[in-house]
Structure 1
């Protein structure tokens, strides 16, 4: 399944600072959370399990 097939599932991360030129997009799947570069949507995505994703968000919030 390519990212282009389900672009409606993706949203711009609220941690991107509102700058659409340097942001990441996120989507939630049955396997975890996927992250991709907005400027290069065809490139590989990173996938995180729920535990790792939540730890990442907690670290961002400080």
Structure 2
């Protein structure tokens, strides 16, 4: 059973595209932050459910990405 509250919450998020996005149809993601979670989705197919991460998971990912 689909939880309608979660579906509505995802629709209400403020999504931000990468500043590195050229807008020419390349591969791009959008990110939306909310207290306690960060959501990531494909900017070309926003009908698919986003990936959701807790604050600690997201912080670990960002720290790893900075080192790479």
Which TM-score band applies after superposition, normalised by the shorter structure?
0.7 to 0.9
Report the TM-score, using the length of structure 2 for normalisation.
Answer: 0.71
Gaps of 5+ in 1: none
Q: What is the CA RMSD across the aligned residues, in angstroms?
A: 1.8
Call closer, same or farther: CA 1:2–1:42 in 2, change over 3 Å.
Answer: farther
Identify which of structures 1 and 2 has the higher relative contact order when contacts are C-alpha pairs closer than 8 Å and 6+ apart. Answer: 1
Q: How many residues of Structure 1 are paired with residues of Structure 2 in the alignment?
A: 58
The equivalent residue for 2:31 is 26
User: Post-superposition, which runs of at least 4 consecutive aligned residues in structure 1 deviate over 2 A?
Assistant: 17-21
- Structure number with the higher helix fraction is 1
Gaps of 5+ in 2: 1-7
